[in-house]
Structure 1
């Protein structure tokens, strides 16, 4: 175990997913007390059971619901009434070309990926300011930097997350709160593998015969996203704010995925 987050408390949304779980595990190993948040209570409980970390508490919250986000403050107070780090990791997806996207699909994705993240951030800021060394790390996407076809609504929301990171960095600097973003590329999570299985591909087939998702010629792993999130959240990055860090195996450098 390390000590880079010793004495700090972190709130992580999207805590039932692969990247959220990897961030929570690493944060706990580095000494943080973690409040892990997700709208799926069963998946959240199962994930924490797998992690087996006594530093991790949970709270169920659909961040698209403003009233439930407000009640998340009670969970923060119950967890020690302190918050040094916020990781906005929760996200949902829509699979439409922009020409086919209707208002309902826009409302669903914006409610979580943009508005929900904004509501959680606003809720957390009084604690982060009080910390004097608060840090926000937004999990955006390399496809908020590079466009692609077929998932444009998701990419639009992740571009919004990139913009929100820069604005937040400027607005909160006077309070000692830093804001940075990590932009993952294609990552092997349970969600990714589930979608592959629905198309009849096993994990081995996805790796061996599926498309190569990056110039580095392999898929990313959740732990490879968690590590830069940890660094940006830690005091090692104390003079970094407003940064947008691609963690994508070179996709954003090339401007496209490699087929």
Structure 2
């Protein structure tokens, strides 16, 4: 079984300054894919806002970035943010703009994972997952778009999923929200294109995070058993790493990618190919 290439497993090495001085907000950045995105954007010179509903985990990610390079202390901000609360969003964006005057990049990453058959999903569960995974993305875009329009540039990157594209057993609530994210991305790209604001979606496959280990546990599988089953579904016979998602986020956020908008990028080891 293959393992992730070493260069894709960590946010170190000879990084260029692809995001130099860009103000990047990452939601759900207190762990998993979100923290890898924040760390990698910082490594590329961005002014990074680590936003999470859990301020403690956001602070920990900020400390990790700064401890690796004290020169980044002025370019990292951790902030408490509840994407389901419009006032929380307004307060967070004001804090960011007061310090750095604008927002160049929004990475909508915050999500919850409700995986079940439709008859097992309560009304409250539907409300919660739609509030975080769909409404939260829309409210964040609503808050940052005026600043992007003013400067006539910006990049909104939304974390969708292979679940936006394919049916999976007992995934109804989660897949529904990720399908909505994909369509939201296309519509944002159309509406915001005249202002030179790009909007794209990333569709990860099976990425090794705490959510993945939790899913394996819910299936009563060890991680070895779960991984063995998952890699059968992929061209590349391994799980992905958060760093591999972070790398493509940097590309889409950077000035290397001016003509890509309304697109969805599958980062799934070939899962949807087979």
Q: Give the TM-score taking structure 1 as reference length.
A: 0.91
Which residue is 1:201 aligned to? 222
Which residue is 2:188 aligned to? 168
Which residue is 2:9 aligned to? none
Q: How does 1:74-223 map to 2 (within 5 A)?
A: 74-196=94-216, 199=220, 201=222, 205=224, 209=228, 211-212=230-231, 214-223=234-243
Alpha-carbon distance in 2 for matches of 1:208, 1:8: 37
C-alpha spacing 1:194/1:106, structure 2 compared with 1 (3 Å): closer
The answer (yes or no) to whether the contact 1:17–1:191 under 8 Å persists in 2 is no
Alpha-carbon distance in 1 for matches of 2:79, 2:174: 25
Q: How many residues align?
A: 252
Which residue is 1:10 aligned to? 24
Which residue is 2:52 aligned to? 38
Which residue is 1:24 aligned to? 38
Q: Give the TM-score taking structure 2 as reference length.
A: 0.86
Secondary structure at the residue paired with 1:87? strand
Match among 87, 103, 125 for residue 67 of structure 1: 87
C-alpha spacing 1:107/1:207, structure 2 compared with 1 (3 Å): closer
Question: Cα offset for 1:195?
Answer: 4.7
Question: Cα offset for 1:56?
Answer: 1.8
What do the CA deviations read for 1:86-106 (whole angstroms, capped 9, x no partner)? 100000111220132221111
Question: Cα offset for 1:197?
Answer: 5.8
Question: Cα offset for 1:229?
Answer: 1.0
Match among 239, 245, 255 for residue 259 of structure 2: 239
Q: Runs of 4+ in structure 1 displaced over 6 angstroms?
A: none
The answer (yes or no) to whether the contact 1:207–1:219 under 8 Å persists in 2 is no
Alpha-carbon distance in 1 for matches of 2:258, 2:197: 10
The answer (yes or no) to whether the contact 1:13–1:89 under 8 Å persists in 2 is yes
Secondary structure at the residue paired with 2:256? helix
Larger deviation: 96-105 or 49-58? 49-58
